[in-house]
Amino acid sequence: MNYGMLNVQTSLSKTSESIKIYVASSWRNKYYQEVCKKLTDAGFEILDWRKNGFSFASVDPKWESWSFEEYEDAINRNDLTLDAFNHDLDLMKSAEACVLLLPCGNSAHIEAGWFTGKGVPVVAVIADFERADLMLKLCDKITSMKDDLADVIFNVMAERISNKIVEEARR
């Protein structure tokens, strides 16, 4: 078992300073920058979807009053929307972990579900507790802003690597 722990430590020491994190959240989440800074300061690389600067307002200033048909047209045929979607999806594909920063909207929850389905570790961070949510149990860990997020991610990654080593040893 010590050999397995050595492998976990070796694997993490090689990657802990370069683990790519996708922070799924909302433009309106007031904790987004703080969480990204804490993770960057801890040595993680943040794959920041906000850097593309997309907003539906750049497609149409009246986007908030769209009909379903106008939304469907924009989401499926507008070059700005398609480029932004592909940009964010490319970031997601290169992420090694996801932080679901709550509160957030539909897109962030869809992103976290995508990561879960791909087997990528997901840590849910509840910044402002509003109400209990059963399906957050799908995340590897549920935590709050009070916890050291870098340690939480590190421990989740260590557990994933350890479980993989055990699985391989059993084969």
In which residue are the tokens 């020491």 written?
13
pLDDT > 80? residue 11: no
All structural domains of the chain with their residue ranges: 2-47+95-170, 54-92
Do 56 and 63 form a contact (C-beta atoms < 8 A)? yes
pLDDT > 50? residue 1: no
In CATH terms, the fold of domain 2-47+95-170 is Rossmann fold (3.40.50)
The pLDDT of 54-80, averaged and rounded, is 95
Side chain identity at residue 49, one-letter code: W
Q: Helix 2-15 crosses helix 149-170 at what angle (to 10 degrees)?
A: 130
Instruction: Flag whether the pTM goes above 0.75.
Output: yes
pLDDT > 60? residue 5: no
- Stronger pLDDT, 108 or 6, i.e. the higher one: 108
**Phi, psi at residue 84, to the nearest 5°?**
-65, -45
For the segment 99-150, what is each residue's pLDDT rounded down to a tens digit?
999 999 999 999 999 999 999 999 999 998 888 899 999 999 999 988 888 8
